[in-house]
Structure 1
Amino acid sequence: MRGWSLLLAGLVLLVIACDGAAGATPERSPQDKSSMAALGDSITNAFASCLAPSPCPRNSWSTGDGTKVSSHYRRLLADNPGLRGGNHNLAAANARADALAGQASAAVRTGARYVTVLIGADDACRGGLADMTPVETFRRQVDAALAVLHDGLPGARVLVVSVPDINRLWEIGHTNRLAVKAWSFGLCPALLADPGSTAAAAVQRRRAFAERVDAYNTQLAAACRAYGPRCRDDGGAAHRVRFTLDMVTAQDFFHPNAAGQQALADATWPGQPTW
Structure 2
Amino acid sequence: MTGTVGTGAAGAVLTDLRDEGDELEALVAGLEAKAWALPTPAPNWTVAHQIAHLTWTDGQSLTAATDEAAFQREVEKAMAAPDRFVDEGAEEGATLAPGELLERWREGRSALLRTLADQPEGRRIPWYGPPMSVAGMATARLMETWAHGEDVADALGVRRARTVRLRHVARIGVRARDFAYAAHGLTPPAAPFRVELTGTDGEPWVYGPEDAAERVTGDAVEFCLLVTQRVHRDDTGLRAEGAEAGRWLDIAQAFAGPPGAGRASGSGSGPEPGSASEGESA
Asked if Structure 1 and Structure 2 have the same fold, meaning a TM-score greater than 0.5 normalized by the shorter chain, the answer is no
Q: Select the structure of larger CA radius of gyration.
A: 1
Structure-1-length-normalised TM-score: 0.27
Structure-2-length-normalised TM-score: 0.27
